[in-house]
Amino acid sequence: MAQLTYRDAVSAAIAQEMLRDSRVVLLGEDAAAAGGVFKTTVGLFEQFGAKRMRDTPISELAILGAAMGASMTGLRPIAEIMFSDFLACCWDYVANQIAKTRYMSDGQLEVPLVIRTANGGGARFGAQHSQSVENWAMAIPGLKVVAPSNAADAKGLLAASIRDPDPVIFFEHKAILGNKCEVPDGEYVLPLGQAAVLREGNDATIIALAAMVPRALAAAETLAAEHGISATVIDLRCLVPLDTKTVLAHSARTGRVFTVEENPRLCGWGAEVTSIIQEEAFSSLKGPMIRITTPHIPLPAADRLEDEVIPTVARIINDVRKALGK
Amino acid sequence: MSSIAPPPSAAKIPEATRLALYRQMMEIRYCEKRAHDLFLQNLVKGTSHLALGQEAVAAGFGVAMNTDDYSFCTYRGHHHTLARGASMLSVLGELMGRQCGLMKGKGGSMHLTSAEHGVMGSYAIVGAHLPIAAGAAWSAQYRGTQQVAVAFFGDGATNIGAFHEALNLACVWKLPVVFVCENNGYMEYTPIGAVTAVENPAADRACAYGLPRQLIDGNDADVCYQAACDAYKKARAGGGPSLIECLTYRHGGHSRADPGKYRPKDEVEEWMKKDPVVLYRIRLLELGFAEAKLDEIEATAMATLEAATEQAKASPPPELASAFTDVYADGGAAWRN
């Protein structure tokens, strides 16, 4: 075990899979020789060379189109879209082409690729470089959607995404790229579609994703220490496949459910998750489920404003206390 | 009708190849007309975009390919799919939404795919497949296979961003990809000249990517075949991409909903005189091919079509359960546990 940052765990996973499988190639803007604008691919160009690490022009259509064509014909491309906001530039490939080709071809063609993209706020980049768009991807049949919250998961889940025969959108949260944790040395692969129960408590179940996970955990610690509320914290890790078994079991056990979502409220992932819970575990609920989300607004740039709108530890604590009357 | 000699560069095409070109064009002509008839009988549902009049491009570029090369087609893609060897039965079956269809009814007319024949899909978002073809060419280059990827597209696709992004990337990476523009003069219902800054929408843009300007007679199967051979040879030799604009004409409207009445009558008449199938038959006769041989090719194509039509009509619709297969690689549609 070594202490690695989230960003170093990303490059460790790519190196692990490139060493293992010569079909794995990577393409993106500034992703090769420069090591990525978020430094998530540092060293890979030197290690694997220009044939496998390809710098592209600023051409999101060409990046995803080329990745798709290569994946249909025997390669395992990793395509980097620098900011997840830019997925809007190439959404045709995500939603119409990559996601639907297996189905429309009746299984004749497959598209085993990974789209890695920097997601989320906290960097004061404003409304076009800060969005959390995991809910966009979740709405498209045919895609898998992964969003790790820590370095170890980033390594294990990225390795699994590269090996997966389906197209995977892999959201790397830009606000936690410097966070460190113990990451297993050597080959490390985690299954897709398994949520992690990070903390168990009896009064509330807090379900979070990506950068909201450390905030949910911090909130749970304070709720326990200062307010007598013991909370379970679940890190979903993947939106598709969705680990509803874990979610339903722990929601039923406490009867009080909170989602902490960075995506704006309307049609955020928590809407689907809470919908499933009310359909399948309604009788276990002891009160309304509460969604703690970024409001339905574009993200502002100024630090004071951005900090106000993305769910904070204080807001999670407050909303849980209010709902439980404590 | 006056005859036209094959152009010098195409004068030495082997006899067997010329017969293959004629057979291919006849099969497309018959099959497309049948698709129209089946639509009028309400047996073809949805929409369909026929390639009547554009047979020479498909035959020329298709016949020149190796079996392991890749085709990327558009929603007007029946002809390109047939030209790689997909059966009339599998194409008509797909148009009719039957179990015998290429994708068992899950794709439809606009998405014909036959991976075993190298038809890597038909793409109905205009221009989207040009970068995808570039990616397949990248894969061939990476794997060192000598395969070529060919993207067929209409004149309308030259005004969309994906065209330009694909051309640039393909040139920068020197990819073995051939971009074939079928300029039939109309972007759906609108004359292409009315919405494009240059006269020849593909050829006039080639210089922007450092490519030679290639503008050819898309109604001459020999010319198309020869241009294809040259482009594929260049691609296989590591010479990078080609962009070829083929001048041709749609005999009908854009889609089944469009009678094409916006086209001037004399323009239609002029182009009907340049029917690629009729012209090629005349050329073959002038080159000394036996009329009986051509008749036999036509009869065989028609017999195949009749049998395919009857078989497709008799084919059952897809199993209902198939609506839920192949969303994901495990074969199903499960997004949760």
Asked if B103 is an interface residue toward chain A (Cβ–Cβ < 8 A), one would say yes
CB < 8 Å from B in window 279-308 of A: none
State how far residue A69 is from chain B, nearest Cα, in angstroms.
4
Inter-chain contact B135–A71, Cβ cutoff 8 Å? Answer: yes
SS3 breakdown of chain A: % helix, strand, coil, rounded to 5?
Answer: 40, 20, 35
Alpha-carbon gap: B154 to the closest alpha carbon of chain A (Å): 18
Angle made by CA atoms A103, A109, A111, in degrees to the nearest 5: 90
Specify the higher pLDDT residue, B257 or B144.
Answer: B144
Q: Does A245 touch chain B (CB under 8 A)?
A: yes
Per the CB < 8 A criterion, the answer to whether B78 and B50 are in contact is yes
**Which residues does chain A have within 8 Å of residue B149's beta carbon, measured at their own beta carbons?**
69
Q: How confident is the model at residue B46 (pLDDT cuts 50, 70, 90)?
A: confident
The answer, for A243 touching chain B at a CB cutoff of 8 Å, is yes
d(CA A40, CA A164): 21
| CA–CA gap between residue B53 and residue B244 (Å, rounded) | 18
Which residue of chain B comes nearest to A236, CA vs CA? B336
Burial B111-131 (b: 16+ CB within 10 A, else e): bbbbbebbbbbbbbbbbbbbb
> Is residue A16 within 8 Å of A188, Cβ to Cβ?
yes
Helix spans in chain B (H): 15-40, 55-63, 78-82, 88-95, 129-143, 161-172, 221-236, 265-272, 276-286, 291-314
Contacts with B325 from chain A: Cβ below 8 Å: 106-107
Helix (H) or strand (E) holding A82: strand A76-83
pLDDT of residue B5: 61
Q: How far apart are CA B50 and CA B33, in angstroms?
A: 8
Q: Which residue has the tokens 């949520």?
A: A195
Query: pLDDT grade, residue B2 (50/70/90)?
Result: very low
Say whether pLDDT at A20 is over 90: yes
**Residue B259 located in a structural domain:** yes
**CATH code for the domain in which residue B133 is found:** 3.40.50.970
Q: With beta carbons less than 8 A apart as the criterion, state whether B301 and B26 touch.
A: yes
**C-alpha distances out from residue B26 to B21, B39, B63, Å:** 9, 20, 13
Residue B143 counted as domain residue: yes
Please compute the mean of the pLDDT values over residues B288-316 and round it to a whole number: 98
Catalytic: which of A129, A173, A227, A250? Answer: A129
- Fold annotation for A2-183: Rossmann fold (3.40.50)
CATH for A196-324 (2.60.40.730, 3.40.50.920, 3.30.70.1560, 3.30.200.20): 3.40.50.920
For the beta sheet containing A114-119, the strands, ordered from the edge strand earlier in sequence to the opposite edge, are A53-55, A24-28, A76-83, A114-119, A168-173, A144-146, A238-240
Tokens of residue B259, six digits: 């009678």
Put simply, whether A209 touches B (Cβ < 8 Å) is no
Report the SS3 class of residue A138: helix
User: Is pLDDT larger for residue A249 or for residue B1?
Assistant: A249
Please tell me which residue of chain A has the smallest CA distance to B110: A104
How many structural domains are present in chain B? Answer: 1
A175 part of contact set with chain B, CB < 8 Å: no
Give percent of chain A above pLDDT 70: 100
Q: Contacts of residue B128 in chain A, CB cutoff 8 Å?
A: 61, 65, 92-93, 96-97
Is residue B1, in this structure, part of any structural domain at all? no
Is B196 part of a structural domain of the chain? Answer: yes
Q: What are phi and psi of B152, to 5 degrees?
A: -100, 135
Three-state secondary structure call for residue A96: helix
Checking if the pLDDT of A44 tops 90, the result is yes
pLDDT digits (tens, 9 = 90+) for A139-196: 999 999 999 999 999 999 999 999 999 999 999 999 999 999 999 999 999 999 999 9
Do the domain assignments include residue B334?
Answer: no
Residue identified by tokens 């498909």 is B58
Quick: pLDDT tens for B215-270: 999 999 999 999 999 999 999 999 999 999 999 999 988 887 888 889 999 999 99
In a domain, B51, yes or no: yes
Beta strands B186-187 and B177-183 are: unpaired
Regarding predicted confidence, which is higher, B1 or A284? A284
Residue A41: pLDDT band with limits 50, 70, 90: very high
On the question of a cis peptide bond just before residue A141, with omega within 30 degrees of 0, the verdict is no
**Which residues touch A134 (CB under 8 Å, ≥6 apart)?**
A119, A145, A147, A169, A171, A209, A210, A239, A263, A269
CA distances from B119 to A123, A153, B64, B78 (A): 45, 39, 14, 11
Statement: residue B13 has pLDDT above 80: yes
**Residue A129 annotated among the catalytic residues of the structure:** yes
Percentage of chain A exceeding pLDDT 90: 99
Q: To the nearest whole angstrom, how far is the Cα of B268 from the nearest Cα of chain A?
A: 35
Within the 36-95 window of chain B, which residues sit less than 8 Å (CB to CB) from chain A? 70, 72
B237 belongs to a structural domain: yes
Domain boundaries, chain A: 2-183, 196-324
CB contact under 8 A, B133 and A54: no
Tokens of B113: 């795919």
The closest CB to that of B166, out of A65, A141, A242, belongs to: A65
In this structure, are strands A290-294 and B70-74 parallel, antiparallel, or unpaired? unpaired
The answer to whether A182 and A152 have CB atoms below 8 angstroms apart is: yes
Chain A, chain B: beta-carbon pairs less than 8 Å apart: 164
Extract the tokens encoding B96. 């009719």
* pLDDT confidence bin for B1, thresholds 50/70/90: very low
Q: Is the pLDDT of residue A222 over 50?
A: yes
- Summarize pLDDT for B67-108 with one digit per residue, the tens: 999 999 999 999 999 999 999 999 999 999 999 999 999 999
pLDDT at position B11, please?
Answer: 76
Query: B126 — contact with chain A (CB < 8 Å)?
Result: no
**Is residue B151 within 8 Å of residue B177, measured between CB atoms?**
yes
A74 touches chain B (CB under 8 A): yes
CA distance B243 to A167: 30
pLDDT tens-place string over residues A115-127: 999 999 999 999 9
Instruction: Report the C-alpha gap between B296 and B299 in whole angstroms.
Output: 5
Q: Which two tokens stand for residue B311?
A: 């078989």
Write out residues 78-137 of A within 8 Å (CB-CB) of B: 92-93, 96-97, 101-110, 112
The C-alpha atoms of residue A197 and residue A205 are separated, in whole angstroms, by: 10
Tokens of A87: 């997925």
What whole-number distance in Å separates Cα of residue B124 and Cα of residue B147? Answer: 24
At A46, the amino acid letter reads E
Question: Which two three-digit tokens encode residue B274?
Answer: 């340049």
pLDDT mean across residues, chain A: 98
Q: Could you tell me how far CA B40 lies from the centroid of its own chain?
A: 23
Q: In the prediction, which pLDDT does A247 show?
A: 98
Q: What is the pLDDT of residues A91-103, one digit of tens each?
A: 999 999 999 999 9
Q: How confident is the model at residue B8 (pLDDT cuts 50, 70, 90)?
A: low
Contact yes or no for A105 and B107 at CB 8 A = yes
Contact, B243 vs B214, CB < 8 A?
yes
Could you tell me if the ipTM is greater than 0.85? yes
Q: How confident is the model at residue B6 (pLDDT cuts 50, 70, 90)?
A: low
Q: Which domain holds residue B164?
A: 24-200+220-308
Angle between helices B161-172 and A60-72 (to 10 degrees): 70
| C-alpha–C-alpha distance, residues B128 and A65, integer Å | 7
> Comparing B45 with B214, which gets the higher pLDDT?
B214
Q: Is this model's pTM higher than 0.95 or not?
A: yes
Residue B29 confidence (pLDDT) = 98
Q: Which of A263-272, B43-52, B208-217, B287-296 has the lowest mean pLDDT?
A: B43-52
Separation of alpha carbons A228 and A222, rounded Å: 9
* C-alpha A188, offset from chain centre: 18
Instruction: Select from B113, B172, B327 the Cβ nearest to the Cβ of A109.
Output: B113
Angle between helices B291-314 and B15-40 (to 10 degrees): 40
Question: Which amino acid is residue A57, in one-letter code?
Answer: P
Which pLDDT tens digit goes with each residue over B52-72?
A: 999 999 999 999 999 999 999
Mean pLDDT of B272-295: 97
Of B333, B326, B328, give the one whose Cα is nearest residue A164: B328
